[in-house]
Each structure stands twice: as C-alpha cells, then as structure tokens.
C-alpha cells in the first residue's frame, strides 16, 4: 500500500473527528431544515426579504429547500453517497446569499434556523452567520479530505436500505 495513509485504526482520534464532524453537520442541517419546515410561510417571508426570488416561487422554495436539508442531513448521518455533495452545495448557496446580503447592507434575519417573527426581531448578524457557515465549510472540506486520504466510500441508498431491513428483520421462530 504505497503512498497510502494509515488505516483509521491507527488514527482513532481523526477517525472520531470524521464521525463527529459528519454527525454534527447532519444535526445542524436536520435541525435547521426541520425548524424551517415547521413554519414555511415565515421562512418564505425571510426569503422574500433578500429580494432574489419571484413571489410565485417563494412558498415552493420555502418548503423544498428545508426538505432537501433534512433529507441530506439524514443521508450524511448514514454516510450515504451524494449527501455530503448536497450539503456542500447548499452551503455554497447559503454563503453566496449571506455575502450578497452583507454586500447590499441588508438588515434581515439570515434565515438559517427557526424563522420566528421577522418583523419583531431582525437578526443583525449576517456576518456572524457567514462566519459560522465558513466554519461548517471547513468541516465539509475535512470530511472530503478524510474520505480521499482513507479511500472511504460512502454507501449507496440501496445498501443503506438493505442494512436497515436486516437490522429490523425479525428472526424466524425456531419453535414447532
């Protein structure tokens, strides 16, 4: 195995860092997506505050985007192929939107988590949200680097489904 890094067994701290980073990102995206799905109308109002989306697309986006976050988070938690790419793509979009908001001088809630009542409490922290997203992006880069250096192959959806079915399968009764 010329040129390969040591196996995960030789680097348990980094192996756990990989798992904890993956699970942490999954938890953040799941929580953020679920909170937005709880009140899509409020999230649609937040999206509208950025002025980037036409009115007819606000509610479909306010439902679709958090749904993608939740599904990708579940996929990342199970280490399903493609889920990290979706999370990375979402993060790129979020960073671009936050940078746009900062550039335009917008005084709005970032829309990252629970939309709440946007009229009564503006967040005033697009820069803090951008910094947080950049830290999460570093986590995404770490996950990709770990996968590449360790030749980690995430599972397919079919493999994950088979594992789940095997896990919940009731053994056949041996009594006559």
Question: One digit per residue, pLDDT tens: the chain, 176 residues?
Answer: 444 555 545 567 778 888 999 999 999 999 999 999 999 999 999 889 888 999 999 999 999 999 999 999 999 998 999 999 999 999 999 999 999 988 888 877 777 876 554 443 444 578 888 999 999 999 999 999 988 888 778 888 888 788 778 878 866 665 55
Would you call 62 exposed, middle or buried from its count of C-beta atoms within 10 A (0-12, 13-18, 19+)?
buried
pLDDT for the residue numbered 21: 95
- DSSP E strand stretches across the chain: none
pLDDT for the residue numbered 117: 45
pTM (2 d.p.): 0.79
Other CB atoms within a 10 A radius of the CB of residue 61 amount to: 18
116, 42 in Cβ contact below 8 A? yes
How far is residue 30's CA from residue 73's CA, in Å, rounded to a whole number? 5
Domain boundaries, the chain: 11-168
How far is residue 106's CA from residue 49's CA, in Å, rounded to a whole number? 8
Written as six digits, the tokens of 166 are 């095997």
8, 15 in Cβ contact below 8 A? yes
């Amino acid at each position: 195995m010329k040129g390969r890094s040591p196996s995960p067994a030789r680097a348990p701290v980094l192996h756990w860092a990989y798992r904890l980073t993956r699970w942490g990102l999954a938890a953040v995206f799941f929580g953020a997506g679920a909170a937005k799905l709880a009140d899509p109308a409020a999230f649609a109002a937040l999206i509208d505050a950025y002025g980037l989306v036409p009115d007819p697309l606000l509610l479909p986006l306010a439902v679709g985007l958090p749904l993608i976050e939740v599904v990708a988070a579940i996929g990342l938690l199970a280490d399903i192929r493609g889920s990290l790419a979706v999370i990375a793509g979402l993060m790129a979009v979020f960073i671009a939107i936050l940078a746009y908001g900062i550039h335009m001088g917008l005084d709005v809630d970032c829309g990252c988590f629970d939309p709440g009542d946007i009229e009564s409490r503006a967040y005033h922290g697009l820069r803090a949200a951008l910094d947080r997203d950049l830290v999460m992006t570093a986590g995404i880069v770490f996950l990709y680097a770990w996968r590449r250096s360790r030749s980690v192959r995430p599972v397919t959806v079919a493999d994950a489904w088979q594992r789940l079915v095997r896990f919940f399968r009731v053994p056949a009764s041996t009594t006559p």
